[in-house]
Structure 1
Amino acid sequence: MTTQIDNNVARAARLDTATLSDAMDRAGINGQCRAIKPRDARFRFAGRAFTVLYGPAATPPGTVGDFIDDVPPGAVIVLDNGGRTDATVWGDIMTEIAHRRGIAATVIDGINRDVSLCLELGYPVYSRDNWMRTGKDRVQVEGVNVPVNIGDVRVAPGDLLRGDADGLISIPHEHEDRILAIAEEIEEAENAIRAAVATGMRLDDARREFKYHQLQTRVTQTSEAKS
């Protein structure tokens, strides 16, 4: 797509989800994907959303997904299975192919199976849980590259996602420059607090000086422009 988009993926990768969460609170934008967790706390990724929407299987049932060959390297596969925990939509064959193709990660509002392979390969999978029961004949793909819901957050194709040990953040494409700028400002202030304390300043004084308690307070774009 554009150099700017690639640059923003790199910017997001340098920030943790806690900092991005504070930035989204400050901007008044919902992006913290509730209860979507890494299968391993060492997993990290940043990338653009390639979305897949699932629904209950019809009669006869449709496919659980043959989309992976169309996912570009560096993208994040985003699977909306409605939060179901009784049927998987991701397993070892998909993990192996995604890893081989250089896909950044898979996130699921639902569950996955075959966790051992994603751990062995270091391929990031984020989901509500894991269990072995297949989704075949239970769910089917309803749409590809359509808006989906992941952990009570709307994710559109091309949105920017960041995952780490604390969970998953989704940043709407139209707000990403602002969110990233706020997050970088928060990170700079927190690093300044750490540096001040390291030189002997009291923590409460350092927090006061660098306005720690206001870092995530919601502000409007108009007030930001005036400051």
Structure 2
Amino acid sequence: MTTQDNNVERASKLDTATISDALDKLGIVGQCYKIKPRSTDFRTTGRAFTIKYGPPSTPVGTVGDFIDDVPVGSIVVLDNGGREDCTVWGDIMTEIAHRRGIAGTAINGICRDVALCLKLGYPVFSRDHWMRTGKDRVQIEATNIPVNLGDARVAPGDLLRGDADGIVVIPREHEDAVLDVAEAIHNTEEAIREACRGGVRLDEARKQFKYHQLQTRGK
């Protein structure tokens, strides 16, 4: 197993809140603002396969037939500029992605056909959902370039983790440091919980384990 593959496994054991705290401590923007799961049961971890959308040309280009080129275990990241007036993901894409073993989809915009992703348990994260198609309204500008996902930069191959609280991106060049800090935060919070279960006051446990410095940059 490569180091990068191992980092996917490491990230999958952490929640997004813990990773968010680690990002804050290191001064890295990776919290994808307002990109939320269509179900609070959805969990996903994987590396980004990115798509950038733009206004349609004449003649109009396609919204996308890229799904068969996405590597198994990847998370499809679609940047539609945060638009909420038309979709770039629906049931056909969900069905094929689920069948092919793609880890999930994250959209800087909206999706539709939510019933199928809920039925299949296929993780979709987006700003919202609505039924109007993106056909003749948007088209693919580029594949596998850096894109925006809720005000966070996502480059191809970056590590993403999603859960009930949303989705975060860990830039490839920082992932070892972020995961190291996140695991330390997780272990500290577990120690605080255990101390409190043993009868220690919360304020005392937090002081003992330096809780208030966990997310502070440079501490």
Output aligned runs, 1:53-202, within 5 Å.
53-202=52-201
Q: CA deviation at 1:123?
A: 0.1
Q: Does 1:41 align with 2:36?
A: no
Say which SS state the counterpart of residue 76 (structure 2) adopts: strand
CA-to-aligned-CA distance 1:169-200 (integer Å, 9 cap, x gap):
00000000000000000000000000000111
Q: What is the count of residue pairs matched by the alignment? A: 219
Counterpart residue identity of residue 5, structure 1: Q
| DSSP 3-state at the match of 1:176 | helix
Matched to 1:4, the amino acid is T
CA distance in 1, matches of 2:131, 2:34: 19
Q: CA deviation at 1:59?
A: 1.3
Letter in 2 for 1:18: A
Counterpart Cα distance in 1 of 2:161 and 2:63: 25
4+ residue runs of structure 1 moved beyond 6 angstroms?
A: none
Q: Distance in 2 between matches of 1:114 and 1:57?
A: 23
Which residue identity does 1:126 align to in structure 2?
Answer: F
Identify unmatched segments of 5+ residues in structure 1: none
Give the Cα–Cα distance (whole angstroms) in 2 for the partners of residues 187 and 78 of structure 1. 27
Residue identity opposite 2:171 in structure 1: P
Gaps of 5+ in 2: none
Measured after TM superposition, the shift of residue 3 of structure 1 is: 1.1
1:3 corresponds in structure 2 to 2
CA-CA distance at 1:60 after TM superposition: 1.1
| Distance in 1 (alpha carbons) for counterparts of 2:207 and 2:63 | 53
Partner amino acid for 1:90?
Answer: W
Give the corresponding residue for 1:28.
27
Q: Supply the AA of the counterpart residue of 2:82.
A: G
The alignment partner of 1:53 has SS state of: strand
1:89 alignment partner, SS class: coil
User: 1:100-126: per-residue Cα shift (whole Å, max 9, x none)?
Assistant: 000000000000000000000000000
TM-score by length of 2: 0.99
CA distance in 1, matches of 2:157, 2:33: 20
Q: Secondary structure at the match of 2:3?
A: helix
* Cα distance in structure 1, aligned partners of 2:56 and 2:82: 15
The AA in structure 2 aligned to 1:214 is Q
CA distance in 2, matches of 1:111, 1:57: 17
In the alignment, the residues of structure 1 paired with residue 150 and residue 162 of structure 2 have an alpha-carbon distance, to the nearest angstrom, of 13
Task: Give the drift of 1:207.
Answer: 0.2
SS of 1:142's equivalent in the other structure is strand
d(CA) in 1 for partners of 2:204, 2:117: 45
| Letter aligned with residue 174 of structure 1 | E
Letter in 2 for 1:67: F
- The alignment yields a C-alpha RMSD, in angstroms, of 0.7
